[in-house]
Amino acid sequence: MKTFSFTSVLAGMLCLLFTLPATGQIVETKPEVSLQERAKSAGGTASALLLEPISLVSYPLLNPQLSIDDKQEYFPCEGEEEENAEVEQLREEMDEMRPVEAAKLGSNYLNPFDQTASATTPSLVSSFTATAIGSGIPPDNTMAISNGGYVVVAVNSTVAIYNTSGALLGSWSMYNFFNGSGAGVNNFFYDPNVLYDSGSDRFFFSCSVGKTYQTSKVLCAFSKSNNPLNGWNIYYLSGNPLNNNCWFDFPRIAYSTNEVYVTGNLFKNDGTYNQSIIYQMTKQKGYNGLGLTNKYWYNISGTPSSLLPVSYGSAGSYGPGVYLVATNSASGSAVKLYDLTSDLTDANQQLLYYSIPVSSYSVGANALQKGTNVKLSPGDCRAQNGFYFNGLVHFVYGGAANGSYNGIKYHRINVSNNTSTLNKSIYSSGYDLCFPAIAWAGTSTSDKGVLINFQHVSSNSFPGVGAFNVDDAGTVSSWTGCATGIGYVNINFPSSTISRWGDYTLLQKRQNASPRRYWGSASFGNTGNKYSAKVFELRIGTSLQDEVIERNAVDKTIEGVHVFPNPVEHGSFQIGIQMAKTGQAKVTLYNTQGKMVRSLHSGLLAEGLNNLSVQTDGLPTGVYFVHVTDNQSLAAHEKIIVSQ
């Protein structure tokens, strides 16, 4: 029997230890189905190996950097981008269909979605551009927010910590943040993942290091307290655990009551796919900085690729064990559910596998974008993001949903009878929607409503970010904008006509927020034809309390601010300010000591995008901050590095 528990809001705020409080819990019990009965309907087997405890590598945290000293190299480094013949063949067929479909649509693109939209549309409360983390190829966004209001964000190269107002508390290269020199690993970090474990009031971070079997490691980092600035306990696991000359790619992470899990794909050095594996670890030892007991599962039945473990959808956690899901990369008519039945301390633990029929899915075409003939690759149909709550696994991924156009696939899987209770295909004509993330948004334990955010683009728009609500009945709302693209993206070599898009979008319910708040992160196209990362806060519906809390936010006229190029090397930089309507704005430049250096603008800015040009003559080399206010509150706090 597996039990599920979550703390009250007060307990979640006060919990500083590693276990859930003994009181203030609501316990949900899985339907009374014995392990033996569940195993009868499961297929296949899996192998497991319990390892010796892994030693702690170090106790960082290094002092924050005001600028990244070492030049960061950005690599198209994921093994999942190695050629997959079935995906490529289907993509070519979809690409051939696109011109005909686009011609029929014309330019009258729709939002809301083509389905009847009656669910409540989410609203944007606040947002800021995470300028400290820059971009990458691909950007590989990750983000988590704690009950205490710490926001940890990262891309392949860089980690930064903000508060909820968008003030930067510190930024580091990934190599320095995780003490790469002390660990003896090369400076090749990618696929970062960070989670806030609300049951323990801590952060858990994982990523891959190295892209050969000789150098491959799996980083696992546990915050030493609920303040991520106080340091992390760091462990490096083998990226070649089977000693079969493979390296570890595309890590996905989750937590349960007692454990954390890291899944990943093993590749040969030539890019040939080998198999997916699961690392299973006792989390309390990680939070305490002790030897990390761990176990890995391999030769998993169903031959899954890109296994997605799912954490709890509300405050607290569930367990023992964890649920995982997987989809086929190219196409399919079934999804794979895995039940890791207990903790690694249980000698009777099993990994059960179920194949669950769903509506057919397949990859879509490469996406068109405004202002260029460079198309964006939507990746494949791998399971992207999900959670478990009240007997259901909710998860999302991208795929063809309207002819060759990309849309979002959303499933609800009932884990007591191994059936899909909702198969939703969500699209909007003329747009490609991709790289979704999902969070529970119900108002009661029986409410199955969710919030989904995603990346979107069309031949008439730049890559941006949106969010919509799917209510308990499965009805879809209109979408709201979270980040507006201000330029097309081309992050490959100039001769390429296909650019990376995505790869990830994050969404998390802030567990102690009242009224309900949801925080996300994703990339949008900037004027440098690369990506910028946006962190945003969403709500669903309104209340008197909302109106009081948000009375200033409702009237804000500034939607977004972007500073480019950054660093500045040629005498001037631009400040792009997106205005929801014509209004007052004040723009000032500060140094790192908090002293105002220049007043750049004070007065009206017109609705739409405004570009201010700033000459750097007379500015010493160093770090500065652009403050933009709308005469009510600080709308942006953007870092700019002058290196001339």
pLDDT in tens, 214-228: 999 999 999 999 999
3-class state of residue 177 by DSSP: helix
170-186 pLDDT tens trace: 888 888 888 888 888 88
User: In angstroms, rounded to a whole number, what is the distance separating the alpha carbons of residues 256 and 199?
Assistant: 9
DSSP assignment of 514-555: SS--EEEEEEEE-TTSSEEEEEEEEEES--HHHHHHTHHHHT
Distance of CA 459 to the CA centre of its chain: 25
17: pLDDT strictly greater than 80: no
pLDDT for the residue 111: 57
Contact partners, residue 270, CB within 8 Å, separation at least 6: none
Mean pLDDT, rounded, for 624-629: 82
| Sign, CA torsion 178/181/183/189 | positive
pLDDT for the residue 456: 95
369 CB neighbour count, 10 Å cutoff: 26
630 neighbors 583 (Cβ within 8 angstroms): yes
pLDDT for the residue 415: 93
465 neighbors 536 (Cβ within 8 angstroms): yes
User: In angstroms, rounded to a whole number, what is the distance separating the alpha carbons of residues 75 and 249?
Assistant: 14
pLDDT for the residue 8: 30
SS (H, E, C) 594-628: CCEEEEEEEEEECCEEEEEEEECCCCCCEEEEEEE
502 neighbors 496 (Cβ within 8 angstroms): no
Mean pLDDT, rounded, for 238-256: 95
219 neighbors 236 (Cβ within 8 angstroms): yes
Work out the pLDDT band at 6, boundaries 50, 70, 90: very low
What percentage of the chain carries pLDDT values higher than 70?
Answer: 82
Place of tokens 């700019």: 640
Of 368-382, 486-500, 574-588, 613-627, which range is least confident? Answer: 486-500
Which tokens sit at 246?
């493979």
Strand partners, 49: 296
209 neighbors 217 (Cβ within 8 angstroms): yes
430-481 pLDDT tens trace: 899 999 999 999 988 899 999 999 999 999 999 999 999 999 999 999 889 9
Query: Residue 86: which H helix or E strand, with range?
Result: helix 85-105
483-528 pLDDT tens trace: 999 999 988 755 678 888 878 899 999 988 877 899 999 999 988 8
563 neighbors 573 (Cβ within 8 angstroms): yes
Mean pLDDT, rounded, for 114-140: 78
DSSP state of 345: T
- How many helices (H) does the chain have, and how many strands (E)? 8, 41
pLDDT for the residue 542: 59
Cis peptide before 515 (omega within 30 of 0): yes
Strand partners, 28: 4
3-class state of residue 228 by DSSP: helix
pLDDT for the residue 331: 95
pLDDT for the residue 582: 85
Work out the pLDDT band at 251, boundaries 50, 70, 90: very high
Query: Residue 100: which H helix or E strand, with range?
Result: helix 85-105
DSSP state of 367: B
Work out the pLDDT band at 618, boundaries 50, 70, 90: confident
409 φ, ψ (degrees, to nearest 5): -100, 130
pLDDT for the residue 37: 55
User: In angstroms, rounded to a whole number, what is the distance separating the alpha carbons of residues 34 and 514?
Assistant: 38
pLDDT for the residue 208: 94
Mean pLDDT, rounded, for 325-330: 96
Of 24-38, 39-53, 412-426, which range is least confident? Answer: 24-38
Nearest to 636 by CA among 538, 550, 568, 536: 536
34-72 pLDDT tens trace: 445 555 566 666 887 777 677 777 655 555 443 333 333
CA angle 74, 78, 79 (to 5 degrees): 145
Q: Which residue has the higher pLDDT, 370 or 82?
A: 370
User: In angstroms, rounded to a whole number, what is the distance separating the alpha carbons of residues 185 and 210?
Assistant: 8
CA of 617: how far to CAs of 59, 563, 569, 642, 643, in Å?
42, 17, 11, 10, 12
pLDDT for the residue 24: 32
Longest dimension (CA), the chain: 76
pLDDT for the residue 534: 93
Any idea of the CA torsion for 625, 628, 633, 637, to the nearest 10 degrees? Answer: -30
pLDDT for the residue 45: 67
pLDDT for the residue 70: 35
DSSP state of 132: G
397: pLDDT strictly greater than 70: yes
Nearest to 258 by CA among 236, 283, 234: 283
Work out the pLDDT band at 115, boundaries 50, 70, 90: low
pLDDT for the residue 547: 40
What percentage of the chain carries pLDDT values higher than 90?
Answer: 47
Count CA within 13 A, CB hemisphere, residue 504.
Answer: 29
pLDDT for the residue 483: 93
539 neighbors 515 (Cβ within 8 angstroms): yes
For the sheet containing 634-642, what is the strand order?
Answer: 596-605, 583-591, 622-629, 634-642
CB-neighbour burial class of residue 22 (10 A; exposed 0-12, middle 13-18, buried 19+): exposed
User: In angstroms, rounded to a whole number, what is the distance separating the alpha carbons of residues 134 and 158?
Assistant: 8
Strand partners, 641: 623
User: In angstroms, rounded to a whole number, what is the distance separating the alpha carbons of residues 448 and 453?
Assistant: 17
